[in-house]
Amino acid sequence: MATKRDLVRVRDMVSAAMGARVPGGRYEKVFRETLVAYARSRTAEGATAREVAREIGAPYWMVCHWRREDDAATESERPSVVPVRVVPTPSACAALTLHGPYGVRVEGLDVTALADLLRRLA
């Protein structure tokens, strides 16, 4: 969880880094890691990347780009095969809807009840 102190620290780092940066130069690794960690913490709490960028005073593209780069770096460290457990779920088609002529509509029947209805109507 990101605290008010974290916000102040990251905001101070952003303003210092933005003022000291030479055009075309790179930001320090510690700064990037701190910004990404704060952005992750805030997005886990439900904030958007745009809100995070506004909070810390950094450009929106920077927050998004650095998060994507960090995701790509950690993705290569993840195992390529993970165990999966399949849990059966009830069929979504348990209730059918029949659209008939002249706007007739029958809803909520299962397959056997619908077949029985059609036999009776025939």
Give the start-to-end residue ranges of the domains of the chain: 4-75, 92-122
Please state the φ and ψ torsions of residue 99, each to the nearest 5 degrees: -105, 115
pLDDT digits (tens, 9 = 90+) for 19-45: 666 566 677 788 888 888 888 888 888
Extract the tokens encoding 18. Answer: 């933005």
Tell me, what's the pLDDT at 28?
A: 79
Residue 98 and residue 111 in contact, taking contact as beta carbons nearer than 8 Å: no
Which helix (H) or strand (E) segment holds residue 59: the answer is: none
Give the best-scoring range by mean pLDDT among 76-80, 92-96, 114-118.
114-118
What sign results for the dihedral spanned by CA atoms 33, 37, 43, 44? positive
Extract the tokens encoding 42. Answer: 């805030």
Tell me, what's the pLDDT at 20?
A: 62
